[in-house]
Structure formats: structure tokens, C-alpha cells
Amino acid sequence: MKTTDGGYVVSKCRAFLLFIAFVGSLIAVGLLVYFLADRPAASSVTNGASTASPSTSGSSKAEVISSNKNVRLPRAVLPIRYDVRLFPVLEKGNFSILGHVSIDVHCKMETDRIVLHSADIVVDPKSVEVMEHGKTMKTLMVASDGIHYDTEMEFLVIRLCPKHKDKLAKGTNYTLSMSFVGHLTDQLRGLYRSTYKEDGIEKYMAVSQMEPTDARRAFPCFDEPNMKAIFSVTLGRHRHMTALSNMPLINTTQMEGTEEFYWDHFAPSVPMSTYLVAFIVANFTQVAADVGNANWKFNIYARPSARNQAQYASEIGPKIQAFFEDYFQIPFPLPKQDMIAIPDFAAGAMENWGLITYRETALLYDEKKSSVSNKERVCEVIAHELAHQWFGNLVTMDWWTDLWLNEGFASYAEYLGSEHVEPGLKWLQQFVTRDLQDVMSLDALESSHPISVVVHHPNEINEIFDRISYGKGATIIRMLAAFLGEKTFRQGLSNYLKSRQYGNAVQDDLWDALTKQAKVNKVAIPTGVKQIMDTWTLKMGFPVVTVTREYDNNTVLISQERFLMQRSNASSQDKTVYLWWVPLTYTADFQTIGSTWLSDGQTSKKHELSIPIDKSQWLIFNVDQMGYYRINYDAQNWQLIGQQLMTNHSAISVINRAQIMDDAFNLAEAGQLDYMTTLNLTRYLEHESDYVPWDSALSGMGSISSMMSRTSGYGLLKKHFRTIITPLYNKLGFDQKMGEDILMTKLRANAVSWACSMGNKDCISRVVSSYAQWMADPENVDIISPNVKGPVTCAAIREGDEAEWEFALNRYMSSNVASEQAVLLASMSCSEKPWILAKMLEMSLNSTSGIRKQDAARVISQVAYNSLGRYMAFNFIRDKWDELRKVFPTTFSSMSGIIKAVAASFNTDLELKELMQFRDERSASLGGAERAMQQSIDRAKNNLNWMRQNYHKVVDWLQRVY
Ligand SMILES: *[C@@H]1O[C@H](CO)[C@@H](O)[C@H](O)[C@H]1NC(C)=O
Ligand SMILES: *[C@@H]1O[C@H](CO)[C@@H](O)[C@H](O)[C@H]1NC(C)=O
Ligand SMILES: *[C@@H]1O[C@H](CO)[C@@H](O)[C@H](O)[C@H]1NC(C)=O
Ligand SMILES: *[C@@H]1O[C@H](CO)[C@@H](O)[C@H](O)[C@H]1NC(C)=O
Ligand SMILES: [Zn+2]
């Protein structure tokens, strides 16, 4: 799965209609016939309790299971094959799901019950049937009170009749079948409905999102990743609709008793996990991709009016899929791949095998209205999901504890796939800012967590779809590939996938395969891959490596310790030894690269290296930032690096320039480097025109700026930032140049955004005049390039008044391009009118405002990032807590992003106190946002500390220079 930029969102609806209520509506449409007629004679089935319903039936009967907090299913019975028949009823006033499932199971251990998952589903008790496979099929008796829902565990327990002494026998196969109904909610999980307008008419579609634990909301199933089975899917649909599932359609039959509805039968799947099953019923347009001579078909689906935005995906999709076939040395095993853009989608995208679902902004691209960044996003997400088809789908994590491996790997491989189709975006450079440096800032907090975490409950599982699993996972895999060498890494990986295909694995299985391959290829590593990687996966955080040169005898002393933004008393109670196996690389000229290892046992002893270079020559460690650690140097070496940057910065690699900026800002923030050093280094930026170093520098500058934006020193800070950004702004210009380097187009957006916000007069006047032109001629797409539409709209709204904001709102409402909408919505929060920000906050929760539920959390976060809106957003979430819980129920994890955004720049005593008070008051209802809350408090403490220790130093430096 790919998360949204603002975090993973899920929601929950506890409500469900009772079976009886459904029956009424079904008879009305004449559909019940199918479900009743299709069952064997009722006489062979013992009647279940006719009133059974998830909420009421005897909770006392299953103490055995509920009292045991283990949320895992017992393994007495395992699924072999499912026949799932679902009919999502897409009729206003009757959004429901009629379902039937029959599951072939294998009994591993004698038992009198079958336990599987089910949530918010009502099973028709009379339909439940267990049949023994043998020469003849024999029906077993289900106890009269034998159907029990354990709502807390999300279990459905089916018990055989004790009187008949019926038991499931070890080694025997059975078929369990039942009919059920569910609710086709708008809660963005399980099988749910999405809404959109076509020619002004409201349209509905049904779509599924199962990962991690929501397949159980679509049909009763064994919903754990290592209970793989074959799925034969049948979907009911209106004759004008199309149904899609993981596998191709085999045939279509008419639904009994109706002329309007049909059943689409899909081919049986390969063995796979429940979280990868997908169902769609929609009236979408298909765009067939040209696949050359590949053995599979490849189609993109979108709303008919978004058809032309599917072109880009159809061009790169098959190329990336072919790339991964080659990379993993395993052909894509399914006959087709479909990718579909869903108007309402909680995550960014989901890798369902053969039917990948996306948020519209992650799949659709409009030449005229989307930006380079949008294109980059589409490319990255497609590559991520396609990488999962092997890493994740073919070989799956055994349990969610190893989620990081799944997501970390896909987050790494997405760069390889993207580089293959869009080399101009220099993905391998961008990796360091997009993932590595980004996650370091989170992982430097005491409240971070190890990437490998033991999880049980769905809330805990949902919580780990975070930057640590994705970004840190990707980063340490990249580091691993670097120290093993690309060839060894790739071959070991391919061996691992081949030996476990259609099965499951834990991280140690991958480490074993790589250790073996390293031996075969005679790669020198100091110990096993497992020993090295365990230090990175089982401990949280990462080291700062301190390099101290002895200039008289060419010796370098090296030591490591955990890098923390701030140390508190809590850290002294943590007994973990924070030492890592660190692959170190260094260079003095980027021609010769030296390497060595720090071990996880070197507590006191410093590592000593002899590096014979001239005293006046700089030394740089962590070449191209392949390692997940920061580097601090002695003052003299920092100075040598600074001189080189000022005289000829290109002598240092692009990535290392980004690394130096990021390390310097963060070391200073943590009090480990003098701010003077960092601020002096920023002066070289007047000469810098590469994308990645700027990206690092701007994020460092951004955090100082957000600390100081409400202080008296802000004026001077703006002046400094204006001084260093202006040469870049002048060089790139306001207007896009024909045929320019694509990364320069991307960098221009940053330059315009910063030049304007730091008060560059030319920038502001151009923004104001182009926006005015656009307001006068709204349909003209040539006035403002989509590549600067975000910064221009933001600045124009900041400088402007109600009319500018209203115009953007109108464009938002009338746009058919989701990526354009996202840019407009973000820019609207740049307003400096408090009442406008208040209006946006209100709109976020109002379902008729035109803001989709999937975007609500983002709107609140964006208002919070505005320094004027920050406190308003905090008040808003405090006031509307209960309402927010209704809009983002479930695990509540989308609140994580909101809380983080609100507290990101809190830096006063009062704000910290209020935040802690808020946490205490709401501790019972934080759901999946607990860790985010703690991280926010940590961050606020860091910020407070920053103000105390560094604010004056920065102001002193600014006063001296300006
Ligand atoms: C149970 O089903 C599996 C998978 O279809 C099959 O391999 C096995 O032979 C069956 N066992 C019995 C006892 O029928
Ligand atoms: C599907 O779309 C077609 C053409 O756009 C339209 O004629 C048909 O009525 C639609 N069907 C439904 C069920 O919405
Ligand atoms: C359609 O396919 C299903 C599943 O393979 C099969 O059971 C059924 O007999 C087929 N029906 C027709 C009319 O071909
Ligand atoms: C280099 O000099 C430093 C400081 O005088 C000393 O600690 C270190 O042992 C010396 N190393 C070598 C290899 O001579
Ligand atoms: Zn993923």
C-alpha cells in the first residue's frame, strides 16, 4: 500500500443493519431468490439460532476465545479455496451487500468449531453449513446456538452440535458455506461505495480496500496474511456496469429473477492472502495499454470524463511491470493487470494482485493541468504498487510485524522502477531527501519506534503504516544493497522470492538468502547479514558518527552514538545498547572511496583509521549518503568543507551537498554543532542550482523559519533567506523555459514559493499580476503553468483578499482533475485572513462542502501549517473532537497527521502545557493516534528547547552578517 502524503486513513462504522431489515428490502428487489434457491435442501441443515446477530448473541459462550487476548485465529482449520459471491447493491436508500461464501478448509487438528474473521456482517444463520469431503459429501450438524460473533476479536465462531458428537477430523477437508448481508458504507474500507458526478448526475460505484484487516468486512474469511488460499470470485452487477476482480472474467450469467442484473464469474486466483483480494463494480472507461510482446494484458480504468488523464499511466505501467519482471527474474504470474483510479480512497494506492486501486491523484495525470510533481507522484506510486506484485503479493510477510519489509522494500524498489521510465527526475538522487532525510527527522525522537514491531490488534497494525516502516525501511534496504553490491543483492533477492513464491516469509529468511549469496559472490562483510541488519531493525533510531581528524599524523578517530534531537530522563531508563553495525565510506576527492565498518560492540574504544591526506584537504564520510547515519566532524574539517563549497561546490557530489546541509542543520538543532557553522554553510547556496541540495537546505531553513515566524528576529531571518534564494530565483526565472531539465522545472516551484514568502518584490508582483490575469480568464490554462500553480496561488491568496480565495475555491469545485484540485485546496490554506481559515476548517467536516472525506484530514493539517492557522486548528480539534472521531472513526489514525501538523511548530511553554493537557483529557479516545501524540509532545519539547538555546545564537549571527 502507498500511504497518502498526510498519513494513512481508515474509518469505521459500527453501525450495521440487522439481517431482518435487509431481508425486507431484498424480497422487494426479488434477489433473495438467488440466495435461497442456491442452497441444498434445508432439511440437511440444523437450524441455527434465528435471532443471531453480531451485537447480541451470547457473549458468554465464547469466553475461551475472548478472554484470551491473542487476536490470532486458531490454526486448527486452514482455508484452501474460497468461492465468494458478492452483489453490492448500488441504490440510494439501499446500499447493501448480499453475499455468499463457500470455503474449502483443511483440518489440521481435531476440533468442534471453525473460527474465522467477520466484522459488521450479518450471516443468515439458516444458511450456515459444514460439509465433509469424502466419497460422498456429508453434512455435519451445526449447533442450534452454534453461531457466535465475537465483535471485539472480529471473529465468527461456528460450533458443531455437541449432541451429535460431530467433530472436524484431522487431515480431512470440509466445505463451510453461508449467506450473509453487509452494509455498503462510505467508510473507505472493506467493500464500500464511492461517489462522483458525471454530466452533473451523481453516480455510485463499489470498490474494496482490504489491507490490512478489512477483508473480513466484505465476507467471512480467514483474514491473516499467512492463510493463503485460492479465490474464485463472482460479482453481481447492473447490466450497464462493469465488474472487476483480481483475475480475468470467464463468463457472465443472468441473475435469476431479474433482467437487469448479471453475475460475472472470474477465473480462480493463484494462492494469495485475503488482504490482496479486490472487487469493483463501476461504470468506468477502459484504456488499454500497449504491452508489446508481453504475456499479459494491461488496462487503466477511470471515470469516463477523466479518460484522457489515464494516458500517462498506460504508457509507463507496462514498462515498469516489464522492468520488475527483469529485475526479479520472475515473470508476472497473472494474465492481466488492471489499474483503476477511485474518486474516494483512503490510502494513496493499494497493490491488490492484478487489480491495483489508486487515489485519482496517484494515477491520473493531465498534461495541461498537472505539474511535474504530480507526474512524479503518479510514477512513484505506480512503481511502488508494481514492485509489491512480487515483493508482498508473491511472497508475503508472515504477519504484520514484518510489514516494514513489505513496505520498505516497495518504497526502495519504486525508485528503481521510476528511474527506468523517468530518468530525468534523477530518482536515485532524490531518494535522500524524499525518504532518508525525511524519516531521520522522525527517527531522531525518543518516541520513535523500531521498524520491526510486534503488533496484534488491528489498531496497532494500522498504526505501523507510517514513515518509519516505509521511509526507514527503504533507507536501510538501500544501505544493504550498497554494502552487498547491486549484483549480490539482486541475485539473493531473486533466490529468496523464487524459493518462497506463493508462500510467506519473515525478515530472517531474506537475510539468510542474502548471506548465502554474499558467500557465493565472495563479498567481504564483517558478519552475517542478519547480525548487521538486526541492529537497524530491532533498535529504534540511528547513529551520529563523529569524525575527529588528527592533522599531525593523518589519523582519524571515529565513534558512534545514537542521534537524538533531545535527551530526556526517559532515555536513561532505556536499557538498549544503541550501537550499530555501521558501513562507513569516506573520500577526500570523490575519486577514491575508502570503506570500513564500525561494530555494534565498540562501546568505549574509538575506531582509528589512518588516512594519508593533506592537512588542507577536506574529508567527507558517508559517500552519497548511502548509510543511514549522520556525520559530525571536527571544526577544522567543517571549515575545509565550507571553503570548498564556497569556491567550487561541484567538487563535492550532489548528494553529499544535500547530506552536508541536512546534517549541519540537524546537528545544530540538536546542539551538537555550532549554529554559526551551519549558517555559514548556507551562504554557499547563492551558487547552488542543483535540486537535491536545495531540497535539504529548504527543509532546514523551513524549520528555523517556522520556529521564528512569530518572533522579533523574523525580519532579519527573512532577509538572509531572501539573499540566498534570490540568485536561484533570478537564474531560473518566473516562466518555464522550453526544453529545460525537468528537475529545474521542479526547483522553480520551490524558488518561487520561497522568494515570494521571503518578500522578494519581483516575485510578489509577478504572482499578483498573473493571478489577476487568470481570474479574468479562468478557462485559460496557459496563463499560469501547472508547475508553479501551487506557489502562485498560495502567494496570491496570501497577498490577496476574499476574492482571490473565492476564485480558487470555484476552480477547485469545477475542476475535473484531482491533482489540480489538491494543489488548489492546499494553496487556499495560505490565506492570512483568520475568518477564511475558520471557514476552511468548518468545510473540512461538512459533507456537502465539496471536500471529500479522503481530503478532510489534509485540509485541517494544511491550515495548521499556516502559522496563523496553527492555533485555530488546535482549537478546532479540541472543540470538535467528538465530531472528528465520527468522521475518522476506526483506529483514528488519520488523526495522527492532524495532531502532528498542529503541534509541529509549538514552541512556547503555554502551547506545550496545553498539548499535554489535551493528551491527558483525551487519552481514552486517542485510538491509533497515541504514538503520534507522544511524538508531537516530544517535538514541542524540542522546539521549546530550541528557542531557549538557539534563538539568540541565530539572531546574533544574523545581526553580525546583516
Ligand atoms: C484436501 O485438499 C487439498 C487441497 O485441495 C488436497 O491436496 C488434499 O488431498 C485434500 N485432502 C483430502 C484428505 O481430501
Ligand atoms: C453507464 O454509462 C453509460 C454511458 O456513459 C450510460 O449510458 C449508462 O446509463 C450508465 N449506466 C449506469 C448503470 O449508470
Ligand atoms: C461460468 O463459469 C462458472 C465458473 O467457472 C461455471 O461454474 C459456470 O458453469 C459457467 N457458466 C457458463 C454458462 O459457462
Ligand atoms: C596520532 O596522534 C594522536 C594525538 O596525538 C594520538 O592519540 C594517536 O594515537 C596518534 N596515532 C598514530 C597512529 O600515531
Ligand atoms: Zn506499499
Helix or strand (DSSP H, E) at 623: none
Residue 553 has pLDDT above 50, yes or no: yes
Residue 546 has pLDDT above 60, yes or no: yes
pLDDT of residue 893: 57
CA of 178 to the centre of ligand 1 (A): 21
pLDDT of residue 141: 83
Tell me the average pLDDT of the chain.
90
For residue 30, the tally of other CB atoms under 10 A from its CB is 13
CA of 301 to the centre of ligand 3 (A): 26
Least confident range from 7-21, 504-518, 684-698: namely 7-21
d(CA 815, CA 370): 11
Give the residue, out of 204, 260, 262, 283, with the most ligand 2 atoms within 8 A of its beta carbon, to mutate for a pocket test: 283
**Burial (CB count within 10 angstroms: exposed 0-12, middle 13-18, buried 19+), residue 648:** exposed
Highest mean pLDDT out of 12-21, 23-32, 131-140, 618-627: 618-627
Give the CA distances from residue 881 to residues 122, 162, 202, 243, 884, in Å, rounded to whole numbers and listed in that order.
Answer: 31, 49, 31, 39, 5
Residue 20 has pLDDT above 70, yes or no: no
Q: Is the CB of 572 under 6 A from ligand 4?
A: no
Nearest to 199 by CA among 816, 811, 810: 816
Give the percent of the chain with pLDDT over 70: 92
pLDDT of residue 372: 94
Q: Does domain 377-383+394-538 have CATH number 1.10.390.10?
A: yes
**Burial (CB count within 10 angstroms: exposed 0-12, middle 13-18, buried 19+), residue 948:** exposed
Least confident range from 199-208, 567-576, 828-837: namely 567-576
Type of residue found at 519: K
Q: Is the CB of 612 under 6 A from ligand 4?
A: no
Residue 946 exposure: Cα atoms within 13 Å on the Cβ side: 26
Catalytic residue among 385, 688, 911, 930: 385
Average pLDDT for residues 264-275, to the nearest whole number? Answer: 98
Nearest to 130 by CA among 45, 13, 61, 64: 45
d(CA 104, CA 83): 8
**923 falls in which pLDDT band (50, 70, 90)?**
confident
Average pLDDT for residues 421-433, to the nearest whole number? Answer: 97
Give the CA distances from residue 723 to residues 192, 716, 755, in Å, rounded to whole numbers and listed in that order.
Answer: 52, 11, 9
Beta strands in 588-709 (DSSP E): 593-598, 607-610, 620-621, 630-633
Active site residue 385: yes
What confidence tens digit (pLDDT) does each residue in 727-747 have?
A: 999 999 999 999 999 999 999
d(CA 381, CA 362): 6
Q: Is the CB of 172 under 6 A from ligand 1?
A: yes
Q: Where are the alpha helices (DSSP H) in 524-631?
A: 529-537, 570-573
> Residue 436's beta-bridge partner residues?
none
Average pLDDT for residues 574-586, to the nearest whole number? Answer: 93
CA of 233 to the centre of ligand 3 (A): 12
pLDDT of residue 757: 94
What confidence tens digit (pLDDT) does each residue in 798-845 have?
A: 999 999 999 999 999 999 999 999 999 999 999 999 999 999 999 998
- The residue assigned the cell 530526556 is 568
pTM: 0.91
Contact indicator for 622, 631 with CB cutoff of 8 Å: yes
Residue 892 has pLDDT above 70, yes or no: no
Residue bearing the CA closest to ligand 3, atom 3: 265
Report which bound ligand comes closest to the CA of 230.
1
Secondary structure tally for the chain: helices H, strands E: 32, 30
Give the percent of the chain with pLDDT over 90: 77
Give the CA distances from residue 569 to residues 246, 326, 444, 574, 909, in Å, rounded to whole numbers and listed in that order.
Answer: 52, 51, 16, 9, 19
* Pairing assessment for the beta strands 261-266 and 155-160 based on DSSP bridges: unpaired
Least confident range from 353-357, 461-465, 565-569, 701-705: namely 565-569
Q: Which comes out higher in pLDDT, residue 882 or 653?
A: 653
Which fold is adopted by the domain 833-962? Zincin-like fold (1.25.50)
Report which bound ligand comes closest to the CA of 232.
3
Least confident range from 375-384, 539-548, 567-576: namely 567-576
pLDDT of residue 888: 72
Residue 74 has pLDDT above 60, yes or no: yes
Residue 419 exposure: Cα atoms within 13 Å on the Cβ side: 12
> Residue 148's beta-bridge partner residues?
157
**46 falls in which pLDDT band (50, 70, 90)?**
very low
Residue 31 has pLDDT above 70, yes or no: no
Beta strands in 611-708 (DSSP E): 620-621, 630-633
d(CA 485, CA 518): 9
Q: Kindly state the DSSP code that residue 169 receives in the 8-state scheme.
A: P
Residue 22 has pLDDT above 60, yes or no: no
**149 falls in which pLDDT band (50, 70, 90)?**
very high
Contact indicator for 364, 341 with CB cutoff of 8 Å: yes
**897 falls in which pLDDT band (50, 70, 90)?**
confident
Report which bound ligand comes closest to the CA of 107.
1
Q: Is the CB of 241 under 6 A from ligand 2?
A: yes
Average pLDDT for residues 168-190, to the nearest whole number? Answer: 94
**605 falls in which pLDDT band (50, 70, 90)?**
low
Ligand 1 atom nearest to 134, measured from its CA = 14
What confidence tens digit (pLDDT) does each residue in 208-267 have?
A: 999 999 999 999 999 999 999 999 999 999 999 999 999 999 999 999 989 999 999 999
> Residue 253's beta-bridge partner residues?
263
In this structure, the dihedral spanned by the alpha carbons of residues 57, 61, 67 and 69, taken in order and rounded to 10 degrees, is -60
Ligand 2 atom nearest to 198, measured from its CA = 5
d(CA 500, CA 396): 9
Contact indicator for 766, 756 with CB cutoff of 8 Å: no
pLDDT of residue 569: 65
pLDDT of residue 287: 97
The dihedrals phi and psi of 397, each to the nearest 5 degrees, come to -60, 145
Rg, the chain, Cα only: 29
Contact indicator for 185, 165 with CB cutoff of 8 Å: no
Q: Describe the crossing of helices 473-484 and 529-537 by its angle, rounded to 10 degrees.
A: 160
For residue 927, the tally of other CB atoms under 10 A from its CB is 20
Q: Where are the domains of the chain?
A: 12-283, 377-383+394-538, 833-962
Query: What CATH number is given for 12-283 in this structure?
Result: 2.60.40.1730
Ligand 2 atom nearest to 304, measured from its CA = 5
Contact indicator for 243, 296 with CB cutoff of 8 Å: no
Contact indicator for 933, 926 with CB cutoff of 8 Å: yes
Residue 53 has pLDDT above 70, yes or no: no
Average pLDDT for residues 175-187, to the nearest whole number? Answer: 94
d(CA 467, CA 932): 11
> Residue 103's beta-bridge partner residues?
82, 176
What confidence tens digit (pLDDT) does each residue in 934-949 have?
A: 889 988 998 999 999 9
Give the residue, out of 106, 107, 132, 227, with the most ligand 1 atoms within 8 A of its beta carbon, to mutate for a pocket test: 106
| DSSP string over 542-610 | -EEEEEEEETTTTEEEEEEEE--S---THHHH--------EEEEEESSSSSEEEEEE-TT-SSPPEEEE
